[in-house]
Amino acid sequence: MSTAAVERDSLIAHEDDLLLVTGASGFIGSRLVACLLDRGFRNVRCFARPNSEMTALGRLRGSESVHVVTGNLLSRNDCDVAMKGVKVIFHLATARDGKSYSDAFMNSVVTTRNLLDASLEHQCLRRFVNVSSLAVYTNKANPRGRLLDEHCPVERRPQSRGDAYCFAKVKQDELVIEYGGKFGIPYVIVRPGYVLGPDKAGISSRVGIDTFGVFLHLGGSNTIPFTYVDNCADAIALAGLTKGTDGEVFNVVDDDLPSSRSFLCMYKRNARKFKSVYLPHALSYGLCYLWEKYSEWSDGQLPPTFNRPHWHAYWKKTRYSNEKLKTRVGWQPKVSMREALARCFRSYCENEAHA
């Protein structure tokens, strides 16, 4: 038996089975579609909003294996149409607005519920692949420098984080698990770290923030949980399609993760020069504590953006693992971190020159 045949045998879907990708025109979604086509799947339904920028899907739209369906996941009817005949759904679509809890919740949780309900209606789904985020882990009880993996607890009171995205993702995961338990919908949850890639110019807030006019470097010697977009898409595809992973959670980070300090140096050297001020961890923790207390004391005169749960999740020294992904589904990052960063910086410079 050939290697390809062996690999296909380990998957829950055949080449002609209908796969649905929500958020298909997005940064990760478009790479996931390409990845699925590369793996030989010939029936990929791409769901996008009618007004989505489709350039990310590019040439894939011309492929006979790709069918674009437009609609709104807040519409039960659109979800019903999208889910018809689907064997595996890769649910990547998520809220864009990170400030409003209600908007984030509506565009992450209500949409997910609509898809789950539609899958119950059609009764042919083999797996619901829910793309979540590393942001959902609390990391509070973890001692400094300890490993954050799939066993770590998720934020119990996500509203305390002051981060609408985290709140929505925690609730989305809870809903998927609830439907899995109640209705027997097979699911897999994938939690990528910060996804790097060309055309994504920003710097992860895990490295630092420029909210106050100067870039505050908060990460220091912390490892930053990067994953390159192609590697991430590959991980989502494998975690979602491999047999025997129902009910499992997979974190996605690449190998050879850089420290925040070394990333910032490389960024300044290869992409853009700017001034930054390093805040030691004890100081950033103290400032987060003061901000949190003042926000409470003043009834939210300062929004609770910075607080201790946020510090634990983003700026506490932590190690990350991709061991489960490698051992359970045989994932290996195809693009090395060195090459990934080089591609990102090159793309940033080209875009700047073009602008």
Spatial neighbors of 185 by CB under 8 A, at least 6 apart, are 116, 119, 120, 125, 128, 176, 179
| Residue 354 beta carbon to another protein: minimum distance, rounded to whole angstroms | 17
131, β-bridge pairs? 190
Cβ proximity to another protein: between 106 and 216 the closer is: 106
Choosing from 19, 32, 83, 109, the residue that interacts with another protein (CB under 8 A) is 109
Told to check if 49 binds another protein by CB under 8 A, we report yes
| Residue 317: burial class (beta carbons within 10 Å; 0-12, 13-18, 19+) | middle
Closer CB to another protein, 108 or 142, in the complex: 108
Q: What residues pair up with 137 in beta bridges, in sequence order?
A: 154
Q: Please tell me the count of residues contacting another protein according to CB under 8 A.
A: 25
178 binds another protein (CB under 8 A): no
When binding is defined by CB under 8 A, the residue of 14, 96, 243, 346 that contacts another protein is 96
127 part of the interface to another protein, by CB under 8 A? no
For 287, the token pair is 């400032």
106 lies in the binding site for another protein (CB under 8 A) = yes
Residues 65-84 that bind another protein (CB under 8 A): 72, 75
**DSSP line for 311-329:** HHHHTS--EE--HHHHHHH
Q: Give least dist CB 301 to another protein, A.
A: 5
- Binding string, 193-232, against another protein, x = CB under 8 A? ----------------------------------------
> Rounded to an integer, what distance in angstroms lies between the CA atom of residue 201 and that of residue 346?
11
- Out of 65, 159, 205, 347, which residue is the one contacting another protein (CB under 8 A)? 159
Q: Which of residues 269-328 bind another protein (CB under 8 A)?
A: 297-301, 303
For 273, list phi and psi in degrees, rounded to 5. Answer: -95, 135
| Residue 110 lies near another protein (rule: CB under 8 A) | yes
User: Shortest gap between Cβ of 314 and another protein (angstroms)?
Assistant: 21
Residue number with CB closer to another protein (95 or 264): 95
HSE value, Cβ hemisphere, 13 Å, CA-based, for 196: 30
Q: Give how far Cα 146 sits from Cα of 132, 139, 152, Å.
A: 22, 9, 11
Q: Which segments of the chain does DSSP mark as H helices, in order?
A: 3-9, 27-38, 76-83, 101-105, 111-122, 164-183, 229-241, 260-270, 281-297, 308-314, 323-329, 337-354
- The smaller minimum CB distance to another protein, of residues 53 and 352, is found at 53
How far apart are the C-alpha atoms of 184 and 119, rounded to whole Å?
11
Exactly one of 45, 87, 91, 113 binds another protein (CB under 8 A); that residue is 113
Considering the complex, state which of residue 9 and residue 299 has its C-beta at the smaller distance from another protein. Answer: 299
Residue 156 near residue 140, CB atoms below 8 Å = no
Residue 53 or 210: the one with the smaller Cβ distance to another protein is 53
Tokens 């490892």 correspond to 223
Q: Which parts of this chain interact with another protein (CB under 8 A)? A: 49-53, 72, 75, 96, 100-103, 105-106, 109-110, 113, 159, 171, 297-301, 303
